[in-house]
Structure 1
Amino acid sequence: MKKQIADFLIVGGGVIGISVARSLSHKYPQAIIKLLEKEKEVSQHTSGRNSGVLHAGFYYSTESLKAKFCKEGNVRWTEYCDEFKLPIRKCGKLVVPKNQGEVEYMHDLFKQGMKNNVPLHMITAEEAKKIDSNVRGYGKEFIWSPITSTVDTKALLKFMVQLIDRFQLQFRDETHDKNPNFEILRSNEFKQPKSKDTPNVLLTQNGDQIHYKYLINAAGQQALNIAQEYGFGKDLDYFPIKGIYSISDRPLDHIYKTLVYPVPLKGAYFLGVHSTITVDGYLKVGPTVSPAFSWENYHGFQNLKFNELYRIIKNYCHLLVSDQRKLIWTFITEEMPKHSIKRLVNDVSKIHFIGPEEQKAFKSFYRPGIRAQLINKKSMKMHNDFILEFGDNQLHILNIVSPGFTCALPVADYIVDQIALKLDK
Structure 2
Amino acid sequence: MYDYVIIGGGIVGLSTGYALMQKYPGAKLAILEKENTLAFHQTGHNSGVIHSGIYYKPGSLKAKLSREGGQLLRDFCDTHEISYEMCGKVIVATEQEELPLLDNLYKRGLENGLDVSLIGPDQLKEIEPHAYGIGAIHVKAAGIVNYKQVANVLAREIQERGGEVFLGTKVEAIAENNEGLQIDCTHHTFHSRYLINCAGLHCDRIAAAQGLQTGMKIVPFRGEYYELKPEKHHLVKHLIYPVPNPNFPFLGVHFTRMIDGHVHAGPNAVLSLKREGYHKTDFVLRDFAEVMTYPAFWKIASQNLGEGMKEIIRSLSKKVFVKSLQRLIPEVREEDLVQSENGVRAQALTRDGKLVDDFFIVTNQRSTHILNAPSPAATASIAIGRSICADIPGPDEI
Same fold (TM over 0.5): yes
Secondary structure of 2:392's match? helix
**Deviation of 1:373 (Å):** 0.4
Aligned to 1:60, which of 56, 59, 81?
56
* Residue 156 (structure 2) aligns with: 162
Q: Deviations over 1:296-347 (max 9, x none)?
A: 1221343x332221111223x6544x37513234222x11121233332331
Mapping of 1:52-201 within 5 angstroms? 52-138=48-134, 141-166=135-160, 181-192=162-173, 199-201=180-182
Secondary structure of 2:230's match? coil
Q: What letter corresponds to residue 406 of structure 1 in structure 2?
A: T
Change (3 A) 1:116 1:318: closer
Q: Distance in 2 between matches of 1:310 and 1:375?
A: 15
| Counterpart check, 1:337 vs 2:313 | yes
**Deviation of 1:349 (Å):** 2.0
Mapping of 1:400-411 within 5 angstroms? 400-411=373-384
Q: What letter corresponds to residue 313 of structure 2 in structure 1?
A: P
* Residue 263 (structure 1) aligns with: 243
Q: Deviations over 1:251-303 (max 9, x none)?
A: 6544421111111112221111111111122211111110011211221343x
| Counterpart check, 1:51 vs 2:47 | yes
Q: What letter corresponds to residue 341 of structure 2 in structure 1?
A: R
Alpha-carbon RMSD across the aligned residues, in angstroms, is 2.2
* Residue 329 (structure 2) aligns with: 352
Conserved in 1, the CA contact under 8 Å of 2:27 and 2:395? no
Aligned to 2:255, which of 275, 299, 308?
275
Q: Deviations over 1:72-112 (max 9, x none)?
A: 11222223223333222322100111211110011111111
| Counterpart check, 1:382 vs 2:355 | yes
Aligned to 2:305, which of 316, 328, 332?
328
Q: Distance in 2 between matches of 1:251 and 1:87?
A: 24
Change (3 A) 1:314 1:190: same
Q: Distance in 2 between matches of 1:14 and 1:318?
A: 28
Conserved in 1, the CA contact under 8 Å of 2:8 and 2:200? yes
Q: Deviations over 1:159-212 (max 9, x none)?
A: 22223243x7xxxxxxxxxxxx21111344323466957651112212x32111
Aligned to 1:16, which of 12, 35, 57?
12
**Which has the higher mean CA deviation after the structures are superposed, 258-267 or 19-28?**
258-267
Q: Distance in 1 between matches of 2:28 and 2:318?
A: 48
**Which has the higher mean CA deviation after the structures are superposed, 255-264 or 341-350?**
341-350
Conserved in 2, the CA contact under 8 Å of 1:203 and 1:210? yes
Conserved in 2, the CA contact under 8 Å of 1:188 and 1:205? yes
Aligned to 2:337, which of 346, 349, 362?
362
* Residue 178 (structure 1) aligns with: none
Q: Distance in 2 between matches of 1:195 and 1:75?
A: 38
Q: Deviations over 1:121-153 (max 9, x none)?
A: 112221111111111112xx3100011111112
Q: Distance in 1 between matches of 2:59 and 2:396?
A: 27
Secondary structure of 1:370's match? strand
Secondary structure of 2:151's match? helix
**Which has the higher mean CA deviation after the structures are superposed, 414-423 or 234-243?**
414-423
Conserved in 1, the CA contact under 8 Å of 2:171 and 2:184? yes
Q: What letter corresponds to residue 363 of structure 1 in structure 2?
A: V
Q: Distance in 2 between matches of 1:233 and 1:48?
A: 30
Q: What letter corresponds to residue 285 of structure 2 in structure 1?
A: F
Q: Distance in 1 between matches of 2:78 and 2:213?
A: 38
**TM-score normalised by length of structure 1:** 0.88
Conserved in 2, the CA contact under 8 Å of 1:251 and 1:280? no
Q: Distance in 2 between matches of 1:355 and 1:220?
A: 35
> How many pairs align?
397
Conserved in 2, the CA contact under 8 Å of 1:275 and 1:352? no
**TM-score normalised by length of structure 2:** 0.93
Q: What letter corresponds to residue 48 of structure 2 in structure 1?
A: G
Mapping of 1:199-214 within 5 angstroms? 199-206=180-187, 208-214=188-194
Q: Deviations over 1:27-65 (max 9, x none)?
A: 111111100001111011011112111110011111211
* Residue 172 (structure 1) aligns with: none
Conserved in 2, the CA contact under 8 Å of 1:10 and 1:216? yes
Q: Distance in 2 between matches of 1:348 and 1:192?
A: 45
Aligned to 2:291, which of 312, 317, 337?
312
Q: What letter corresponds to residue 260 of structure 1 in structure 2?
A: I
Q: What letter corresponds to residue 22 of structure 2 in structure 1?
A: H
Conserved in 1, the CA contact under 8 Å of 2:33 and 2:169? yes
**After TM superposition, what 4+ stretches of structure 1 lie above 3 angstroms from structure 2?**
191-199, 251-255, 317-320, 353-356, 420-425
Segments of structure 2 that go 5 or more residues without pairing to the other structure are: none
Conserved in 2, the CA contact under 8 Å of 1:123 and 1:142? yes
Q: Distance in 2 between matches of 1:96 and 1:254?
A: 18
Conserved in 1, the CA contact under 8 Å of 2:175 and 2:210? no
* Residue 39 (structure 1) aligns with: 35
